Amino acid sequence: MSARLKVAVLGATGYSGLELTRLLLRHPRLERPLLLKRPGDATNAQVNLADLFPVLSGNGSYPLEPFSWALLERRGVDLLFLATPHEVSRALVPEAIDRGLRIIDLSGAWRLQRAEHRGIYGFKDQDEKRASELTDMAVYGLPELNRDKIPQARLLANPGCYATTIILALAPILRSAQAELSWGIIADAKSGVSGAGKEPTPRTHFVSVADNVSAYGVFTHRHVGEIAEQLGLTKDQITFTPHLLPIPRGILSTVYVLLKQPTEAARLEACYRDFYQGKPFVRVFGTPMLPEIQFSLNTNYCDLGLCLAPDGQRLVIVSCEDNLLKGAAGQAVQNLNLMYGWQEQEGLL
């Protein structure tokens, strides 16, 4: 085997960052990843990631080192993973690219091309011209759609968790021009609490989540623009409603589409199987089986199932994934593999 790639993770203390670190530690082509504290963290105490997450205990120490560009250069880091808040990634990426690093960003900082969609983040770029150049440079890292662009990417924007389930559910039917868009598409999605991040809020406290299901971000969720851009839709053509489930992880999205012409279930299933042929992390279930959250938990799979009404025109697509893996860290490693020409499944099975 040739020399192992040197990578660093900024943001390993979050849920997605922890999952990413665990995947990178077992990846056969990588050196042990450099784990970094956020810029501005003035804590002098030595922080061991295994003390924060005892699941790592028993395999040595996992120190978090203070972030600096000099440290990255001294350690010979080739690629930097950012599992940071959107505004942190937005601020760090310009200098990282100028220093010759490749970036896989798990935040939403560079996913959106259109200013009207990106406005929901309220970014204040110090150099708007440079930010615009990097926005144009960024590759949207959904391997099932952008496999040909990923190997050359210097800045890769990892997709959002909800967006992944809905884009993968709709791409075959939209690319084959079978959907009646004037009727509108409805995406009803439900996620475990880890999708809201590690920092607690009144909405994510146990007493708010337990024995409850709640809708949020109706018509305002930041993934609407992401979904619309990647599928070539207007925001008026899709209604996306996310819900919070009283479970730690997992997403189930139910998507409703009206077809232009009556068709047969077997033909639709063949359309999906043809579209995802050779794409190892999408599983198309045979009708009438539908995915469930528990089937994809702790895997990098997105599971798809189809149900067609007797009229042959009303289609329901069910899409499930683990939001911390295919919806975040696992997909980031899948993109890493493609960027360096490795087998897509390395470190993920």
Please state the separation of Cα 190 from the chain's center in Å: 15
Is residue 345 assigned to a domain? Answer: no
Q: How many domains is the chain built from?
A: 2
What pLDDT shows up at residue 2? 62
Q: Are residues 333 and 279 in the same domain?
A: no
Active site residue 161: yes
Q: Are residues 147 and 21 in the same domain?
A: yes
Strand order, beta sheet including 214-215: 214-215, 238-244, 185-191, 251-258, 314-321, 302-308, 282-284
pTM over 0.85: yes
Is residue 344 assigned to a domain? Answer: no
Taking only the tens of pLDDT, the chain with its 349 residues reads: 468 999 999 999 999 999 999 999 999 999 999 999 987 766 666 788 999 898 888 878 899 999 999 999 999 999 999 999 999 999 999 999 999 999 999 999 999 999 999 989 999 999 999 999 999 999 999 999 999 999 999 999 999 999 999 999 999 999 999 999 999 999 999 999 998 887 778 888 888 899 999 999 999 999 999 999 999 999 999 999 999 999 999 999 999 999 999 999 999 999 999 999 999 999 999 999 999 999 999 999 999 999 999 999 999 999 999 999 999 999 999 999 999 999 999 999 9
Please name the residues in contact with 182: beta carbons below 8 A apart, sequence gap of 6 or more: none
Q: Are residues 181 and 275 in the same domain?
A: yes
- At 310, list the tokens: 């007797």
Is residue 349 assigned to a domain? Answer: no
Q: Are residues 66 and 96 in the same domain?
A: yes
Q: Are residues 178 and 39 in the same domain?
A: no
Helices (H), 58-151: 69-74, 86-98, 115-118, 128-137, 143-146
Sign of CA dihedral 334, 339, 340, 342: positive
Which range of residues forms the domain containing residue 93? 7-158+328-339
Q: Looking at residue 186, which CATH number applies to its domain?
A: 3.30.360.10
Catalytic, out of 161, 271, 302, 320: 161
Helix (H) or strand (E) holding 212: none
Rounding to the nearest 10 degrees, give the CA dihedral for residues 235, 239, 240, 243: 150
If we measure between CA atoms, which residue out of 91, 116, 113, 115 comes closest to residue 103? Answer: 91
Q: Are residues 148 and 220 in the same domain?
A: no
Q: Are residues 154 and 165 in the same domain?
A: no
Cα separation, 6 vs 88, whole angstroms: 22
If we measure between CA atoms, which residue out of 113, 167, 174, 122 comes closest to residue 143? Answer: 167
Quick check: helix, strand or coil at residue 283?
Answer: strand
Is residue 52 assigned to a domain? Answer: yes
Q: Are residues 307 and 176 in the same domain?
A: yes
Is residue 346 assigned to a domain? Answer: no
Q: Are residues 141 and 119 in the same domain?
A: yes
Q: Are residues 68 and 134 in the same domain?
A: yes
